[in-house]
Structure 1
Amino acid sequence: MRLTTVILIASLVQVSAATFAQRITLSERKASLENILKEIRKQSGYDFYYDRKVVVANRQIAINVKDATLEQTLSKVFAGLPLEYTIDEKIVVIKEKMPSFLDRIVSAFNTVDTRGKIVGENGAPIAGANVSVKGTSKSAITDQNGSFYIAGVDERSILVISYVGYVTKEVAAGATSLGNITLIIGSSDLQEVTINKGYYNTTQRLNTGNVSSVKSDVISRQPVSDILTALEGRVPGLYISQNSGIPGGSFVIKLRGQNSIGNGNNPLYVIDNIPYNTTNVLQSGIAGANGAINIFSSIRPNDIESIEVLKDDKSRRINKQIIIKQIIMATYKNGINGAISGKVGNVVGATCRGIAYLRSLPETIKAPTEKQINQRLKFAVVMGWLQPLLKIINIGYQILSGYKTSMNRAVSYHLTEAVVGDAPDYQIDFKKAIFSRGELLVSWILELLCLVNAVLSIKWDNGPASAFCNDDDQASFVIYNPEKEAFVTFTDVATRQQKEAVLQLPEDFAGDTVHCWQHFVNAAGDAVSTSVYLGEVMVG
């Protein structure tokens, strides 16, 4: 009877162990190693600890397992990789595989000391050319004779040779002496850049006037809803200032300063070769923000191919009646990757999220509806509040950006989730504001205390160390003072392991109530945690 009981208990233990053992099913092709480790973490419950410098994020892995154990899965993942792992309880530690004595001997025989000479097409030596070993930090600069020497190069490596004005060249480093390596002079792209100068086009090479051009790739990357705003800081001599914070509002624009008394200072606008009278459009009481709206407010920035700003006397060829004015010209996109070519009447090819479609050119400027005005008010509140945090948001929303910019993502979230109140008194709900969104783990706050002399003390505690909770993660803080409408940011002020940060606030914050947020950024700067609202505190 006792023997039967012992056998029965042993069987139950084996069944229980088999029941609770985690089985893993994976089928991936060309997936990054990090993504595979994250999927294994989800299915197994095991945490992974590794150095990002060792586990390269863009390393591609192919794996196909079904109902496999953790050990079987990891063996297939790391097969052929210079990595090894150990399992300690529920943590998998990954590190670089140390080469064996035999591997070091083989590596020594596979390395060569390579030398050569870089010359031009005429045979003259090129001094100062850069010669680097592809994928490594080894490099050399050619001397006055064009010669270079690099020691300890793997014979299977590729040498990358570059010099200003010449086409970059790659050669195999399979010999100790490579002889003369000839670089070819690079063709200039000045002939390929097309500039719209009114009713004719020219190239950068033949252009003799003072023209600044902003292309569609630059415009589409800006987190703005108005084309004129995208020109700020990108055209020398162009001063742009919006009359109000409401989207669609009119602008004060000066090109090369105050240049007229009687004819005004607004430049002439030409959209697809159609001139617009800026005096009527911008100043004559068209219903909208501050009684006037600008001509570009109804045009999507993504529909514009390029904007040219003509600054000098060359503009007289187009603008004969008002000689003193300069010209800002916008050109619509004509076709998207060949899917929609050309333009018919007032219809033009455009694109949205990579999909080609046809859209109509604006014919009239209508007064915005009440719903549009309210949306613009919300947008103005959100943009005005987030603009000072552009650097924080560019890092905090980078993992979600995709085809949108980080600021676009942040604005979209706050428009739908963090705006409260009724028109026109919209406000930000500080508890719902998020400046960073990511996969790193957050910490729990133990203390938020304001000391004397405007010193803020913050203490926190962490969960167990893992790939999503590293000791060297950097803590950053955002402080907002509603009374002064001012932000103060503190980036990389302490590591996660330190569990404490002491922040010196501006002295004029004394007596005011401030709101605080915290988030973490990993050492590589490519992963973040979701920001956490810590609360409000009175500054002493």
Structure 2
Amino acid sequence: MKNIFTFLLTFLLAGMLGNTYAQQRTISGKVTSSEDGSGLPGVNITVKGTSAGTVSDADGSYRLSVPADATTLVFSFIGFRKAEVLIGNRTEVNVTLLVDTRQLNEVVVTSFGIQKEKKELGYAVQEVKGQEIAETNRPNFVTALQGRIAGVSIGTTSGMAGASSQIVLRGGSSLGANNQPLFVIDGVPVDNTTKSEGFLLTDTPNRISDYTNRIADIDPNDIENITVLKGPAASALYGIDAANGAIIITTKKGRKGSVRIDYSNNFTIENATRFPEIQTKFANGSWVNNVPTTNRNTLSTWGAERPAGEPTFNNVRNFFRTGFMQNQVVVTM
């Protein structure tokens, strides 16, 4: 009886183990390059829809245990196009990966429209895409650079519409001279100051009137990208005018091929939310012999207490209305 029980238990375990092995199968093969046919090491091979995977060895060979119901292997490697291959009933799957010619090296514009690969530069640069600036929907794109460039300080003369914005890279270098970087638009240097406007936000011309900084005339939707050069690198390319750095703006241009039209539309609604407190208990007036007298032409002192039920007006609050702005942009390339 004991022998029969042992035989049945052994038979059951063997059946379960065989079923487990039947649920897995091993796929092997080699991954090669389409350029020279050499094996590619370090290629990621995964079973589509699962976490099972492996990497190819030094000569491009691989070996992977996959579920019995696996249908597709995914091969991916930097610089090559991803490939998805059906397994079928095969146990050996060889793959040739195509070079991805669509992957472009990161290119920046340095001086006078000259383009160089970023890895070839011997100095640090920062780049901001024009789309990031346009998405902020700010009329003055200089204010949109805040928080997108390291070491930048941006100040505005006021919170009014059309207020000037000034930018300083890595702090000011002069107490009385201009601390702003040089702006270069498609190779043409542009001054960001305006006539009769001071270099400092506290200068008298800036407090009396505001003519808006000239770079604000650029439509953010026309900007392709912005490259920022700091320190000696800017001076070496643009001279003493760029001693405080240089901001190089490349605008959008037409491209070979089919015509492309970009349209964007945005709405802005603004309301003033904070107003100064106004007293309505006392009327305008003055004090004569320690007696308050009402004088409607006096604004500097208080007069007698207003009669009950006398209407009062908050002219500051009544002056403001709901602001509405609509901006529609059509760009043809």
Q: TM-score, normalised by structure 2?
A: 0.58
- Residue-by-residue CA offset, 1:213-270 (whole Å, 9 max, x unaligned): 2233333333333322332332222233434333432224221223333433211122
TM-fit CA distance, 1:353: 1.0
Q: Does the 8 A contact of 2:191 with 2:214 survive in 1?
A: no
On the 8 A contact 1:160/1:169 being kept in 2, the answer is yes
In the aligned structure 2, how far is the partner of 1:352 from the partner of 1:116?
A: 49
Q: Secondary structure at the match of 1:320?
A: helix
Superposition map of 1:499-514 within 5 A: none
- Answer with 1 or 2: which has the greater Rg: 2
Identify which of 217, 222, 239 aligns with 1:320. 239
- Alpha-carbon distance change, 281 to 215 in structure 1, aligned in 2, over 3 angstroms: farther
Count residues in correspondence.
Answer: 243
Matched, 1:123 2:50: no
Higher relative contact order (CA 8 A, sep 6+): 2
What residue in structure 2 maps to residue 291 of structure 1? 210
User: Structure 2 vs 1, CA of residues 218 and 112 (structure 1 numbering), >3 Å: closer, same or farther?
Assistant: farther
AA at the equivalent of 1:298: D
SS in 2 for 1:291: coil
Question: Are 1:224 and 2:123 matched, yes or no?
Answer: no
| Alpha-carbon displacement from aligned partner over 1:181-224 (angstroms, at most 9, x marks no partner) | 34456568454x44222213122243333222223333333333
Q: How many angstroms does 1:307 deviate by?
A: 1.6
CA contact (8 A) 1:244 1:289 kept: no
State the distance in 2 between where 1:330 and 1:252 align.
16
**CA deviation string 1:462-486 (max 9, x = no partner):** xxxxxxxxxxxxxxxxxxxxxxxxx
Indicate whether 1:240 and 2:154 are aligned: yes
Give secondary structure in 1 for the equivalent of 2:42.
Answer: coil
1:271-320 CA-to-partner distances (Å, cap 9, x unmatched) read 23332233436934889996241223232211122222121323224532
> Whose helix proportion is higher, 1 or 2?
1
One-letter identity of the residue aligned with 2:121: N
Contact 1:267 1:325 in 2 (8 A): yes
Who is 2:111 aligned against? Answer: 198
Aligned to 2:162, the other structure's residue is in SS state coil
Alignment of 1:13-24 (within 5 A): none
Give the conservation status (yes or no) of the 8 Å contact 2:193–2:213.
no
Partner of 1:177: helix, strand, or coil? coil
Q: How does 1:96-175 map to 2 (within 5 A)?
A: 113=25, 115-117=27-29, 119-121=31-33, 122-123=38-39, 125-126=41-42, 129-133=44-48, 137-142=49-54, 145=57, 146-153=62-69, 155=71, 158-175=72-89
**C-alpha distance in structure 1 between counterparts of 2:29 and 2:174, whole Å:** 61
C-alpha separation in 2, matches of 1:218 and 1:132: 37
* Aligned AA (1:331): T
Q: Hey, what's the Cα distance between the residues in 2 that align with 1:178 and 1:172?
A: 11
Unaligned runs of at least 5 residues, structure 1: 1-110, 341-349, 355-377, 386-420, 429-540
> 1:77 aligns to what?
none
From 190, 210, 221, the counterpart of 2:124: 210
2:253 pairs, out of 331, 334, 358, with 334
Say if 1:224 and 1:335 are closer, same or farther in 2 by CA, change over 3 A. same
> Residues 141-189 of structure 1, C-alpha deviation per residue, up to 9 Å, x if partnerless?
215744322204354xx43222345432221222342334344565684
Conserved? CA contact 2:194–2:214, under 8 Å: no
d(CA) in 2 for partners of 1:115, 1:290: 76
**Distance in 2, Cα, partners of 1:281 & 1:159:** 67
Aligned to 2:263: 353
8 Å Cα contact 1:286/1:292 also seen in 2: no
Separation in 2, partners of 1:261, 1:190? 44
Secondary structure (helix, strand or coil) at the match of 2:131 reads: helix
Q: TM-score, normalised by structure 1?
A: 0.38
Distance 1:302 1:179, change over 3 A: same
Q: Distance in 1 between matches of 2:205 and 2:69?
A: 71
Answer yes or no: is the 8 Å Cα contact 1:190–1:203 preserved in 2: no
Indicate if the aligned counterparts of 1:286 and 1:293 stay in contact, CA closer than 8 A.
Answer: no
The Cα shift of 1:326 comes to 0.7
The code of the aligned residue for 1:197 comes to: T
Question: Residue 178 in 1 paired to residue 92 in 2?
Answer: yes
Closer, same or farther: CA 227–320 of 1 in aligned 2, 3 Å: same
Q: Say whether 1:251 aligns with 2:170.
A: no
Partner residue, 2:14: none
* CA distance, structure 1, for counterparts of residue 196 and residue 137 of structure 2: 23
2:246 and 2:155 mapped to 1: Cα distance?
17
Find the residue that maps to 2:69 and give its secondary structure.
strand
Segments of structure 2 that go 5 or more residues without pairing to the other structure are 1-22, 199-203, 275-316, 324-333
